[in-house]
Amino acid sequence: MRYLPHTENDISVMLDAVKKETLEDLFTVIPENCKRKDLLALPGALTEWELDSLMKTRAGANASPTEYTVFLGAGSYNHFIPETVSYLIGRSEFATSYTPYQPEVSQGTLQAIYEYQTFAAMLTGMDLSNASLYDGATALAEACLMALRISKKNTIAISTLIHPHYRHVVNTYLEPTDCEVIEIPMLESGCTDFSVISGERELAAVVVQSPNFFGCIENIEELSEICRKGDSLLISSFTEPLAYGLFKTPGEQGADIVCGEGQSLGIPVSFGGPGLGIFTTRSKYVRSMPGRLVGKTKDKNGRRGFVLTLATREQHIRRGRATSNICTNSSLCALAATIYMSSLGKTGFRNLAKINYDKSEYLKKKLTDKGYDIPFAAPAFNEFVVKCPDGFRHTYDELLKKHIVAGLPLAKYYPELTEHYLFCVTETSSKESMDAFLKEIP
């Protein structure tokens, strides 16, 4: 039986309010040739078991008959995810979008976020973390706004080697402000040319990504010295946090704000989302940090408890003077990252990073042996740029027909890099698949 909550009188009153005679008049804006004249030919009702079987069959029809060999990264990375992650985030007490404002009924959710904050701070080498933001791009944009609030200056220098999509989001965020954005060019090594900002004293912040969009490791320590002399904040971004299992963290190298994408940490690629915006900073900047923060305290009986703290920064209290309009977080993704890092542990995290590095270096060397040029000499993690011979685009298209995605063409983002491709290798890439790919290319 159809459920119609409105009586005829209710409908008549509503139609009078919008100056319409009948319900059909509400749809006059739709062209007649776009309207369906007959009823949908829907099948009859199914039992739960029958429906479950049907959906499994339909889902199977969407699967590719052949697995693809994919050498794509550029901000989204395919990693093996321990079963502990899938199992625990599926528990009913965690699979909720509820905002934990009432600590007396939210201790489990609050503690999970607190543990995430601890891991995020350790991962980046910083003092503290917020409860997470939406994704890496919005985290970087919020970091720029935070730097403007702290410094009271209105110019930000941002490396051209930050992910192009991230730079686009930053520009969108800053467009309504009077902030000027300066782009820092790159060196032949594949890293950022810090010399162009040396001596600049009017910068609110300098923004760099390491590993950068080309996978190259930036010298954040050198940049930190430049920022100190220029009285500017140093914002370090990332898209692949696994690199910090092998290389120095940005915090160890003097960064003031570290932010980026945590998708690599137990979150599937899932056609581009959802993501996890990791945001960490120094203790002295905590009151300017966007988003929520979970703290540990004690109740009147001395028992440990967790609460949302420093809520005076949030928009429901400070209104226009709030640190940002961020009023929620990627809680379930943050939990997945927490379980992932817990499952690996410090040693496992480092070993996994080493496997990723070794596998990418294997493919890089094999491509070099075949005569392909690796244009950037800087140390890299997971990703590297390959200059392919003229006409490689035809080879690229032929490889796609064979279910091989041979990297990301860079000309769309960097027009000067025609016939340059960004390759990514993680632990999911087997030696056999890499060797098979090498046999397919000239």
For domain 83-341, give the CATH number.
3.40.640.10
Query: Cα separation of 405 and 105, whole Å?
Result: 48
Determine which of 49-53, 152-156, 172-176, 342-346 has the lowest per-residue pLDDT on average: 49-53
Q: What is the pLDDT, as a whole number, of residue 404?
A: 95
Helices assigned H by DSSP within 63-106: 83-89
Q: What is the pLDDT, as a whole number, of residue 267?
A: 96
Q: What is the pLDDT, as a whole number, of residue 66?
A: 63
Q: What is the pLDDT, as a whole number, of residue 199?
A: 74
Q: Any idea what DSSP says for residue 175?
A: T
The answer on pLDDT for 276 being more than 80 is yes
Q: What is the pLDDT, as a whole number, of residue 314?
A: 63
Q: Which residue has the higher pLDDT, 257 or 270?
A: 257
Q: What is the pLDDT, as a whole number, of residue 94?
A: 81
Mean of the pLDDT values across residues 31-50?
A: 86
The answer on pLDDT for 313 being more than 80 is no
Q: What is the pLDDT, as a whole number, of residue 413?
A: 97
Mean of the pLDDT values across residues 334-340?
A: 96
**CATH class for domain 69-80+345-440?**
alpha beta
Q: Quote the mean pLDDT of the chain.
A: 91
The answer on pLDDT for 117 being more than 80 is yes
Q: What is the pLDDT, as a whole number, of residue 105?
A: 78
Q: What is the pLDDT, as a whole number, of residue 59?
A: 82
Whether 278 and 344 have beta carbons less than 8 Å apart is answered as no
The answer on pLDDT for 369 being more than 80 is yes
Determine which of 91-105, 207-221, 333-347, 402-416 has the lowest per-residue pLDDT on average: 91-105
Whether 133 and 329 have beta carbons less than 8 Å apart is answered as yes
Q: Which residue has the higher pLDDT, 309 or 322?
A: 309
Q: What angle do CA 365, 370, 375 make, to 5 degrees?
A: 60
Give the confidence band of 1 by pLDDT, cuts at 50, 70, 90.
Answer: very low
Q: What is the pLDDT, as a whole number, of residue 323?
A: 76
Give the confidence band of 5 by pLDDT, cuts at 50, 70, 90.
Answer: confident
Domain boundaries in the chain?
69-80+345-440, 83-341
Query: Taking the mean position of all CA atoms in its chain, how far away is CA 128?
Result: 19
Query: Cα separation of 197 and 200, whole Å?
Result: 5
Structure tokens at 104: 């007396």
Q: What is the pLDDT, as a whole number, of residue 153?
A: 95
The answer on pLDDT for 245 being more than 90 is yes
Q: What is the pLDDT, as a whole number, of residue 188?
A: 95
The answer on pLDDT for 401 being more than 50 is yes
Q: Which residue has the higher pLDDT, 250 or 45?
A: 250
Mean of the pLDDT values across residues 185-198?
A: 94
- Max intra-chain CA distance, the chain: 80
State the pTM of this model. Answer: 0.84
Give the confidence band of 65 by pLDDT, cuts at 50, 70, 90.
Answer: low
Query: Cα separation of 156 and 385, whole Å?
Result: 27
Determine which of 42-46, 208-212, 276-280, 370-374 has the lowest per-residue pLDDT on average: 42-46
**What's the burial of 271, exposed, middle or buried (CB within 10 Å: 0-12/13-18/19+)?**
exposed
Query: Cα separation of 426 and 352, whole Å?
Result: 9
Q: What is the pLDDT, as a whole number, of residue 53?
A: 86
Q: Which residue has the higher pLDDT, 58 or 249?
A: 249
Determine which of 3-7, 11-15, 79-83, 179-183 has the lowest per-residue pLDDT on average: 3-7
Q: What is the pLDDT, as a whole number, of residue 103?
A: 81
Q: What is the pLDDT, as a whole number, of residue 357?
A: 97
Query: Cα separation of 116 and 98, whole Å?
Result: 17
